[in-house]
Structure 1
């Protein structure tokens, strides 16, 4: 039997994502009611610019007083898609205090204050769902939090930012330089006017913190995530990658240490073999590769951003939260029982691709090899090209710690025969 009293939803934000949430709630109202077991009604929309025309939304629902909206005693669920830290944090906690559960797409807030928000939700017996915070339409949070709850996840590695993947894909397939590819991404609407959050890895780092926390049942904050941007990636890097049978992606990598006693979370450009499933992810798409004890290797793929894809994830959470509301229950909250510490980047072990500008004369290779040996970094392959007294030396290592590699590079810079370190890139996925 369907309950006749509707479940009332307050929408905070009506931009690209919020407007799509409102549209789907209206056009799919009958289907949503059938799936939930009660009508789901948009009861108010908080915006900053009330004069803007919002097609399909009753003007009487528009308000600029978000705080008053979430304090209404009749609101069942608050959907937060305004982003940022404040006022989103205060509005979410106020919603819990006044009886509403929350669906959020706010990756930055969850990466910074997820533990406090989960604690507030638990204190008031409410739900906090956030599938849309990571990888857009791709079902990822719920599979990690629920479907794989009985398994042990060892690694989560993925492309979680569509803008950066579009840029790197263009550089790879067309030979374009970074700026040229960025300009095209901006013209097509994939990159913001200020692309810093994307290209410097801040967006991906927030998502990595969320994924690591869920996967390893430990609290991982944004500050725990090592981050490198991709603005220094060049056409020469792609040429070297192709010679190795690789391409370059900006990856978010969360992994459990070999001894199982700690975890790491990092975001940086990396070379990956063309045979790896992530290498074939093109354009602005996202993909996440999960490795677990029992399930083995799993791949999640799809559109990672945009109004409709993100709204799809929001509506999925909204249906789940509304069902919980009718059942007078709540879904899974924070799981941080493992309390695994986050190790520093220096303890990460992987392979490296180092490109050096050196003097083209006898003995240089021997000097370089000695430095690697002194720091305990084993060389896998070396490629050297020289012309007119100058040479480029490309070294690919076996697996070594990041700290050992950093010491090696610092010592190389002090060699008289090394004119410069052109690039350093990690090699993953092998």
Structure 2
């Protein structure tokens, strides 16, 4: 009889509790699919006395989380404590050095240290698995690493943060402004008390850097992701987008070509006929374009105890079967060190929004800056004064180099006609 796969679990928050409940609820099914039982044998968390709604008395409690790496009765360690460094990274390093398999949902740690950890896993002939680190329960890591392994991936595009998508969808459906909807998202538990990590795009950028590494065979390059969040998106922007046939989404885009690796997380205007335009609420979605398979579309819940626990246990089933493979779809030594692409010559259309002083000559000043920078204007819309007494001006450009738009905005920097910084959103092509 095959021995069970023995699991040491670090972190007993929402996802950690979900892993235990899932293993309990689907125990027989998991055993049949894995070829052997999967059993938690030890756990560790900050508060031993906290009621987590699951029976923990059957497991060994380890006070020092990093000591799980040396726990002799465990074959694999699952890390669900988070953080790019600190105890999570120490646990990862010690676990892999000990030759044990390691499963994590920690996208920040992998974005910063993924190459090092992949090399350590390969040196020990063990597994580094992270399906739960990107898009929750959506099997996008497995889809790119295994299902699309024969393809050259040309582009990866995704909605990678449920908090931002919930906020933008609410603003779209109800015509409300960002701050009001953010407060509601916090009250409902969709946003943290300090939501900066989500709304400023950092969480999505971590995930995009991992998808790019898998898709293009490059080392994770989080530091090269251009990031802009959603905190400055107005209800008026969303209304203008709708009138033009678009929806506003925080989108991550990654492409690799001879000019380097392009990675961006920005608010985009997404055409209503694009699949990402129909990803609403807290859902996540990823679109990958392969040269033979064509377009692949993954959509589902990107967070929460059930979806994320599902991804963690899927990794455990792979390990129980002896299916390890390279963490980033090829040996770490084969991952290219990417040069960041220069976005200046990248061509596209843009949405630009200005809050301006209501006076004669303002439109002429904006139009002159566009003309002098070589930006061709497709449409210009001026709305009446808002509650601050400022007039909103929205411009959609024709396709052209991004450097021209950047130069036009630089020409307008410091203008007495502008109230605050302009909003630049790319139009998804």
TM-score (norm 1): 0.91
> How many residue pairs end up in the alignment?
419
Q: Which runs of 5+ in 1 are unaligned?
A: none
What is the CA distance between 1:165 and its match in structure 2? 0.6
Deviation at 1:110, TM superposition (A): 0.3
- 1:304 aligned onto 2:302: yes
C-alpha distance in 1 between matches for 2:188 and 2:51: 24
Deviation readout 1:263-313 (Å, 9 max, x if unpaired): 111111111122211111111111112122222222110000001110000
Residues 231-246 of structure 1: pairs in structure 2 closer than 5 A = 231-246=231-246
- The answer to whether the 8 Å contact 2:259/2:342 transfers is no
CA, structure 1 residues 42+354, in 2 after alignment: closer, same or farther (shift >3 Å)? same
Match of 1:320 among 309, 313, 318: 318
Q: 1:421/1:256 Cα in 2 relative to 1: closer, same or farther (>3 Å)?
A: farther
SS in 1 for 2:77: strand
Q: Contact (CA 8 Å) 1:156, 1:253: kept in 2 or not?
A: yes
Counterpart Cα distance in 2 of 1:53 and 1:367: 62
User: Aligned residue for 2:125?
Assistant: 125
Question: Over residues 108-163 of structure 1, what are the superposed CA-to-partner deviations in whole Å (9 max), with x where a residue is unaligned?
Answer: 00001100000110111111010100000111011111111111111111111111
Q: Which whole-Å CA distance do the structure 1 matches of 2:422 and 2:48 have between them?
A: 50
- Indicate conservation of the 8 Å contact 2:156/2:289, yes or no: yes
Question: 2:70 corresponds to which residue?
Answer: 71
Per-residue deviation, 1:350:
2.5
Alpha-carbon separation, structure 1, partners of 2:270 and 2:236 = 16
- Local SS of the residue matching 2:422: strand
Corresponding position of 2:326: 332
Query: More deviation in 125-134 or 29-38?
Result: 29-38
> Offset at 1:398?
2.0
Question: Are the structure 2 counterparts of residues 73 and 347 from structure 1 closer, same or farther at C-alpha, using a change threshold of 3 Å?
Answer: farther
Change in CA separation of 1:347 and 1:18 when aligned onto 2, cut-off 3 Å: farther
Tell me, yes or no, if the aligned pair for 1:77 and 1:322 is still in contact at 8 Å: no
- The residue aligned with 1:141 is 141
Q: Does structure 1 conserve the Cα–Cα contact (< 8 Å) formed by 2:366 and 2:412?
A: yes
* Aligned residue number for residue 189 of structure 1: 189
Q: Secondary structure at the match of 1:145?
A: helix
Cα drift, residue 101 of structure 1: 0.5
For residue 297 of structure 2, give the secondary structure of its aligned residue in structure 1: strand
1:11 aligns with 2:9: yes
Q: For 1:317, what is the secondary structure of its paired residue?
A: helix
In the TM superposition, 1:235-314 aligns within 5 A as 235-257=235-257, 260-314=258-312
Identify the range of structure 1 (47-56 vs 297-306) with the bigger mean alpha-carbon deviation: 47-56
Query: For the structure 1 residues 383 and 177, does the alpha-carbon distance in structure 2 shift closer, same or farther, using more than 3 Å as the test?
Result: closer
CA contact (8 A) 1:33 1:39 kept: yes
Matching residue of 2:112: 112
RMSD: 2.2
Contact 1:377 / 1:398 at 8 angstroms: preserved in 2? yes
**Structure 2: segments with no counterpart, 5+ residues:** none
Give the structure 2 partner of residue 428 of structure 1: 427
Aligned partner of 1:401 in structure 2 is: 401
| Separation of aligned partners in 1, 2:14 and 2:376 | 50
Structure 2 residue aligned with 1:230: 230
1:174-205: CA deviations, max 9, x gaps?
01111111111111111111111111111111
Closer, same or farther: CA 33–393 of 1 in aligned 2, 3 Å = closer
Classify the secondary structure of the residue corresponding to 1:407: helix
1:389-421: CA deviations, max 9, x gaps?
9864422112333332121111134666x4346
- Counterpart secondary structure, 1:87: helix
* Contact kept? 2:267, 2:425, Cα under 8 Å: yes
